[in-house]
């Protein structure tokens, strides 16, 4: 059995691209569809109801593209919506959902000072799902949470290492270091794009934890278990959709993915 239907990946914007890239590396023959719900970004500043409605709407679009699995490549949407997505679509349409959540577990294993800094959206940090995750896996570690809204906007503007990016990263990271954090979680997928700057600002003694590879490995595992992997010998295609400024999206994907990437509207 082979299943060459595409894997859908979505985020509020370009935050999910590093996850899509890892999936592409691990599964070169799979077809991918990436959706940036840019018109409604940033999710981190929206109500839970809006985030849920958008997650459902993007899922409907991806279903219309006949995807075989959906990767919610956004911590905020995962925290707020994945339970409902699984309940409403998962079983009914036999559609696996793979989400992303802040890497609290690896951080708790890694920390020596017992203080973990978490950079994420306000919505993620105040969600019940994040609270439950922390209670479940943080053990004795103390978490210093840091909402970081400026970073999402900087990434969407492709300001990944300019003065404004460094300044904003310093503003969010310095207080965590002052509180003795030796491990910082990138709890928003957008922040993977800023990882080099965050690592530099945090310094050698601090480890920065991000989750793209873990999510991509989970995608492989789920597709294997569900018998959904393709056996097509050719390299897979990647399609990119956005409902925001298409010229900007074109620039973003060409810069972050490759010169051949073509923006489409959804």
> Which residue numbers are catalytic?
74, 188
Nearer to ligand DGL, 16 or 96 (CB): 16
Shortest Cβ 12–ligand DGL spacing (Å): 3
Name the β-bridge partners of 155: none
**137: its two tokens:** 């896996």
R_g over Cα of the chain = 18
Shortest Cβ 175–ligand DGL spacing (Å): 20
Nearer to ligand DGL, 44 or 96 (CB): 44
In order of 6, 15, 20, 106, the CA distances from 237 in angstroms are 9, 20, 12, 33
Nearer to ligand DGL, 23 or 229 (CB): 23
Summarize as ranges the residues that interact with ligand DGL (CB under 6 A). 11-12, 15, 41-44, 74-76, 121, 124, 152, 188-190
Residues 165/194, Cβ–Cβ less than 8 Å: yes
**48-72: string of b/e by CB count within 10 Å (b at 16+)?**
beebbebbeebbebbeeeebbbbbb
Nearer to ligand DGL, 189 or 243 (CB): 189
Shortest Cβ 198–ligand DGL spacing (Å): 14
What does the alpha-carbon distance between residue 115 and residue 62 come to, in Å, rounded to a whole number? 39
Shortest Cβ 133–ligand DGL spacing (Å): 14
């Amino acid at each position: 059995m082979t299943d060459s239907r595409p894997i859908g990946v979505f985020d509020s914007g370009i935050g999910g691209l590093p996850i899509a890239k890892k999936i592409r590396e691990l599964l070169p023959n799979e077809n991918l569809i990436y959706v940036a719900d840019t018109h409604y970004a940033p999710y981190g500043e929206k109500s839970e109801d809006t985030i849920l409605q958008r997650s459902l709407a993007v899922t409907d679009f991806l279903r219309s593209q006949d995807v075989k699995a959906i990767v919610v490549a956004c911590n905020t949407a995962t925290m707020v919506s994945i339970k409902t997505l699984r309940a409403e679509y998962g079983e009914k349409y036999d559609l696996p959902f793979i989400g992303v959540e802040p890497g609290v577990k690896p951080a708790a294993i890694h920390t020596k000072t017992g203080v973990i800094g978490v950079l994420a959206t306000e919505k993620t940090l105040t969600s019940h799902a994040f609270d439950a995750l922390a209670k479940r896996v943080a053990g004795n570690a103390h978490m210093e949470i840091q909402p970081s809204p400026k970073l999402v906007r900087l990434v969407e503007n492709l300001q990944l290492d300019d003065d404004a990016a460094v300044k904003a990263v310093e503003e969010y990271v310095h207080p965590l270091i002052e509180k003795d954090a030796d491990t910082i979680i990138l709890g928003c997928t957008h922040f993977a794009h800023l990882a080099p700057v965050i690592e530099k600002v945090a310094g050698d003694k601090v480890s920065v934890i991000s989750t793209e590879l873990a999510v991509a490995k989970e995608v492989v595992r789920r597709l294997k278990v569900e018998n959904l992997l393709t056996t097509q010998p050719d390299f897979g295609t990647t399609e990119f959709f956005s409902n925001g400024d298409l010229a900007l999206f074109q620039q973003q994907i060409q810069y972050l993915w490759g010169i051949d990437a073509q923006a489409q509207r959804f």
